[in-house]
Amino acid sequence: MHSRPAGYTRAQIVLHWVIAALVIFQIIFGEDIGPAFRAFRKGTEPAADALLSANIHVYVGLTVLVLAVLRMALRLRYGAPDLPPDEKMVMRYVAGLAHLVLYAAIFLMPLTGALAWYLGMGEIGEIHEIGKPIIIVVVAVHAAGALWQHFVARTDVLRRMLKPAA
């Protein structure tokens, strides 16, 4: 096994924060696609403003998918730094599980959304909706972990997601 890098590259960091901002935007405003989606499913024409809101959700979401592919490519190429050496095993699992769910979310949310939207698959839309509470809980745990590392444990874990490794 090759050794882990000392930190993230600038591109990895920019992608982390741009994706985070877009995902939070989607979570806050996601319901705005509802009226247009319901109109299409009933076979009626959505109002112009409903269609605009829907298009914003669709294109912001598809942007997340493109950035997620880029991000995964960089992750495979450069890897990620290890947690502080004295980090408890259980915390390593919690952090690792949160990262896994978040990576899954940035691929599966756009994919399930696209199946619902373009193919009118209502059941997939319901699966897509379940993503919302899951993401809220996992991002809360993830962000709390980052802040705890910084302010309580006083490690460089948050700093290395803000400043590239030299």
Give me the residues that bind ligand HEM (CB under 6 A), please: 16, 19-20, 23-24, 26-27, 30-31, 33-34, 37, 57-58, 61-62, 64, 75, 80-81, 83, 99, 102-103, 106, 109-110, 113-114, 116-117, 125-126, 128-129, 132, 139, 142-143, 146-147, 157-158, 160-161
Q: CB 85 → ligand HEM: shortest distance, Å?
A: 13
Nearest to 149 by CA among 79, 88, 105: 88
Q: CB of residue 66 vs ligand HEM: minimum separation in angstroms?
A: 10
What is the CB neighbour count within 10 angstroms for residue 51? 16
Say how far apart CA 37 and CA 88 lie, in whole Å: 46
Minimum distance, C-beta of residue 87 to ligand HEM, in the bound complex (Å): 9
Phi and psi of 70, rounded to 5°?
-60, -45
CB 9 within 8 A of CB 162: no
